[in-house]
Amino acid sequence: MVKIDQKMNRRLIILLSSVVLIAMTFIIFYQYGELRKAREDVTREKEALTQVKQQITDLVQVKEQTEQKQAEKRWYERLIPNLPKEDQLIREVQFRVDTSGLTCKEIRFGNRIDKEGYIEMPISIVCEGRYSELIACLKGMTLLGRALRIDSLKVSKLTPESPVLRVEMMAAAFYASKK
C-alpha cells in the first residue's frame, strides 16, 4: 500500500510537474508574443514621432520663408509703389542732390510709359556743381527709397574756364500698374 501510494504520488507529482511546465511554457510564449507586439508598437510610435518632428521642422521652415517673403514683398512695394508719389520722389531726389553739394535747377516728369505690370515715369533732372559732387550725387541716388534707373547723363561745363559743370540726367522711376 505504501508502494502504491508512493507510485501514485510520483505519478501525481510528474503529472502536476508536466502541467506546471506546460503552463509555464505557454505563459512564456504568450509573454514573448506580447513583448514582440510592444516592441512593434514602440517602433511604430518612434516612426510616428519622427514624422511629426519632420512636419514641425517643415512648418517652421515654411513660417520663416513666409516671413522672409513678406519682408521681400514690402521691400519691392517700397521700390515700386502702387501710386506714382511724385511729391515724395521729388523730395528724395532733391535731398540726394542737395546733400551731394550739387545745386538742383530743375526736376521735370515726362510722359508716362505703360509697361507690362508697371508704369515708367521718365524724369529729367538738371543740376550744377563740381565733378566730385556729381559722383556723390550718383552714389546717393542708389540710396533712394524706390527704384530709379539713370538712362543718360550729359555733363558739360558752364563756361570753358569754370570748374562748375551742368549735369542733365535722364532717369526713370516706376510704380505698379493696376491692371
Say what the pTM is: 0.62
Rounded to whole angstroms, the Cα distance separating 167 from 153 reads 7
**Are the C-beta atoms of 132 and 163 separated by less than 8 Å?**
no
Q: Are 86 and 137 in contact (CB under 8 A)?
A: no
User: pLDDT of 12-34, one tens digit each?
Assistant: 888 888 888 999 999 999 999 99
| Residue percentage of the chain with pLDDT more than 90 | 63
Q: What is the pLDDT of residue 78?
A: 83
> Which residue type, as a one-letter code, is found at position 140?
G
6 confidence band (pLDDT: 50, 70, 90): confident
pLDDT at 160: 84
The predicted pLDDT at position 61 comes to 92
- Looking at the structure, do residues 166 and 146 belong to the same domain, yes or no? yes
- The angle formed by the CA atoms of residues 66, 70 and 73, to the nearest 5 degrees, is 135
Find the mean pLDDT for residues 59-63.
91
Q: What does the alpha-carbon distance between residue 88 and residue 16 come to, in Å, rounded to a whole number? A: 103
The CA-atom distances, in angstroms, between 21 and each of 14, 18, 31, 33 are: 10, 5, 15, 18
Provide the CATH number for the domain around residue 127.
3.30.70.60
Q: Supply the range of the domain harboring residue 49.
A: 1-79
**Amino acid at residue number 108:** R
Amino acid 179: pLDDT: 58
Say whether both 36 and 71 belong to one domain.
yes
Q: Are residues 35 and 61 in the same domain?
A: yes
pLDDT at 96: 94
Q: Which residues touch 112 (CB under 8 Å, ≥6 apart)?
A: 84, 119, 120, 121, 122
Same domain? 70 vs 28: yes
Per-residue pLDDT tens over the stretch 115-166: 888 899 999 999 999 999 999 999 999 888 888 999 999 999 988 888 899 9
Residues 91 and 137 in one domain: yes
